Amino acid sequence: FTPHVDSEKEPYTIVIPPPNITGQLHMGHALDETLQDILIRWKRMSGYSTLWLPGTDHASIATEAKIVEAMRKEGIKKEDIGREAFLERAWAWKKQYGGRIVEQLKKLGSSCDWTRERFTMDEGCSKAVKEVFIKYYQEGLIYRGERIINWCPKCLTSISDAEVEYEDQAGLRYPLKDGSGYLELATTRPETLLGDTAVAVNPNDERYKDLVGKTLILPLVHREIPIVADDYVEMDFGTGVVKITPAHDPNDFEVGLRHNLEVINVMTDDAKIVDAYPKYAGMDRYEARKAIVEDLKTEGALVEIEDYNHNVGTCYRCHTVIEPMVSKQWFVKMEPLAKPAIESVEKGEIKFVPDRFTKNYLNWMRGSR
């Protein structure tokens, strides 16, 4: 299955979508490898110089979670053994499970060129990643900036998966600075109140038109915050009033950019309240939630608590509830990269089967940020 380098035949190559070294192959892998094997064997028999390049991937955090889980059974924590010893365990894991996966691929009869087997952490692969990263950075396609991301306080990484859970919704009362009354609103995350920098209403909402531009006193913190008008707010949802916490909600972050609001992060990377709020400092977010709800009751700022079905993002690796948080991250500029990929489908150069997936693809490519 090794092609001749000096062959005059037309080349046909597949780089295997590398399976992660998180354990062993499953039925999905078996199907995927079979389809690739059919293609490569057909092209080989059709007279092409074929290369099916095999390899495995590290999936760093997913693999780390597996190793940490195995260590837990031994009564050991990552912190107990240090970085170097953990890396030794990681490479031993790769040898055991990466090796098992390769043997499974061979047992399936996959006609890969086994003389060229690669691992994504090989020196050559790592060097290629750095080279491409720098190239894209120099071309302005990769940039760094503060954005709101889904943060896992356990894995200490950004994630993008979402699941549904049940939470309580608390009704709150924010007093106007001039003493003329209150604005009532609801939140499923009372602990983020500490980072509120505004309250928003819809510009077309007659109920609140005269209040836009006025100032509220943030309960517990007693910080002065403005009432802003923004189309993001749905007039018929709840009271039509929304607390704005730019550092801890993706929609609030966008509202904050439009109204030049301060971004106040109230949590550490492991989702504990920061030292700037001494009464709650060091508390886990759920511990702080209970304490803040009690204090809101005492201050007379809590209207009611009711059950509410709420979409909550959870980390698909460890199932911890994610925390939307402002973080300095690397991003890839999607528009110039997506444009040719969109055009190739619109021109019919690439076709989806069944056709309904064309719409899904185009929506995804146009909506990627």
Tokens representing 73 are 């059974």
List, as one string, the DSSP characters of 160-225: ---EEEEEEEEEEEEEBTTSS-EEEEEES-GGGGGG--EEEE-TT-TTTGGGTT-EEE-TTT--EE
Contact by Cβ (8 Å): 65, 317: yes
Helix (H) or strand (E) holding 143: strand 142-152
Q: What angle do CA 100, 16, 51 make, to 5 degrees?
A: 110
Residue 15 clears pLDDT 70, i.e. is over it? yes
pLDDT tens track for 185-243: 888 888 999 999 999 999 999 999 999 999 999 999 999 999 999 999 999 888 899 99
Tokens representing 86 are 């953990």
Residue 154 clears pLDDT 90, i.e. is over it? no
Query: With bands split at pLDDT 50, 70 and 90, how would you rate the model's confidence at 38?
Result: very high
Greater confidence, 315 or 105? Answer: 105
Q: Which bin fits 96, alpha (ψ -120 to 50), beta or left (φ > 0)?
A: alpha
What CA–CA distance (Å, rounded) separates 336 from 298? Answer: 54
Tokens representing 19 are 């399976």
Greater confidence, 2 or 23? Answer: 2
Mean pLDDT of the 340-349 span: 96
Mean pLDDT of the 350-365 span: 93
Residue 18 clears pLDDT 50, i.e. is over it? yes
Q: Which bin fits 292, alpha (ψ -120 to 50), beta or left (φ > 0)?
A: alpha
Contact by Cβ (8 Å): 48, 4: no
Mean pLDDT of the 159-182 span: 69
CA distances from 161 to 150, 165, 268 (A): 9, 13, 21
Whether cis (ω within 30° of 0) applies to the bond prior to 219 is: no
Greater confidence, 7 or 1? Answer: 1
Q: How far is CA 294 from the centre of its chain?
A: 32
The owner of tokens 């055009």 is 343
Among 357, 365, 358, CA closest to 339: 365
Residue 193: φ, ψ to 5°: -50, -35
C-alpha R_g of the chain: 27
Mean pLDDT of the 330-353 span: 93
Whole-number pLDDT of residue 164: 33
List, as one string, the DSSP characters of 270-323: TSBB-TTSTTTTT-BHHHHHHHHHHHHHHHT-EEEEEEEEEEE-B-TTT-PBPE
Residue 270 clears pLDDT 70, i.e. is over it? yes
Residue 163 clears pLDDT 50, i.e. is over it? no
Mean pLDDT of the 41-49 span: 96
pLDDT tens track for 257-266: 999 999 999 9
Among 229, 224, 225, CA closest to 209: 229
Q: pTM of the entire structure?
A: 0.64
